[in-house]
Structure 1
Amino acid sequence: MGEDLLRNWHKKAVEHRKQYQGWLKRADKNKTLDRLPALHAEAFSHIDCLTCANCCKHYSPRFKTPDIKRIARRLKMKEGAFIETYLRLDTDGDYVVKSSPCPFLGADNACSIYEDRPSDCARYPYTDEDVLLKRPQLTLTNSEICPAVYYVLEKLTAGAAGG
């Protein structure tokens, strides 16, 4: 059943964006948060990130100061050199990768700094935490980048008007 739900997921995510947007405005926070851990686990029982890697190909996490320190140390680089080589400031004043795909993404879709990756990467796609509700625009964007977000939203909105 999960594989059927994921067939043409990107196209369906785009088509369902307004439905998701309306649902996110009306969602019962406590009921939703109670359901997220199980839905997150269910989604990832059907999705292998290494066959997808859309997040690493089309999205940049924020690199916060602890991330920069940790990754620079791992790469045996000075923090300034790491920033200059790999990062730029975005319009929000956050450090993000200069280009897509992520420079740490390998041809096999594996991350070369996985153990030390930014906290945003470790938390992505936020389908098991309140970010899903607190940042609806991010959730809508992520539904078109990550099949797990699409999957969770489809399960949460099942039976909702227009669904």
Structure 2
Amino acid sequence: MNKQQLASKIWESANKMRSKIEANEYKDYILGFIFYKFLSENELMRLKANDFTEDDLPQLTEDNPDIVEGVQNECGYFIAYDNLFSTWIKKGNDFEISNVRDALSAFSRNINPARKRVFDGIFDTLQTGLSKLGTDARSQSKA
């Protein structure tokens, strides 16, 4: 496969993935997901640097105010275990668009008040545009 064929294949894949979203809007979704992945990985990296293990990660819930506050102080935000990007990947075919909606809502709710100005509304475009992925939750999840 030469360079032009590879580029053509990548473009074809991107068109298929973007579904009914206009090409110029697609970047907002991709960049939103990439940034959310970065924030998830950043939180995990910082937790592991503070002696969290893989076995400890399921304890990352909003029901544990000490952990929430500690992560907020460290990162400026808190992402629960169920809402981490890596947890979404593990779900495979069980992943649903509601996972994204719930996670983005929780992210907004769990921003450290001192960092509100930095993170507040950062995923608004992604969150409001999810409906463009399809006509129902199933088609949106598939897209």
Structure 1 and Structure 2 fold alike (TM over 0.5) = no
Structure with the larger helix share: 2
Question: TM-score, normalising length from structure 1?
Answer: 0.29
Question: TM-score, normalising length from structure 2?
Answer: 0.31
Structure number with the bigger relative contact order (C-alpha 8 A, sep ≥ 6) is 1
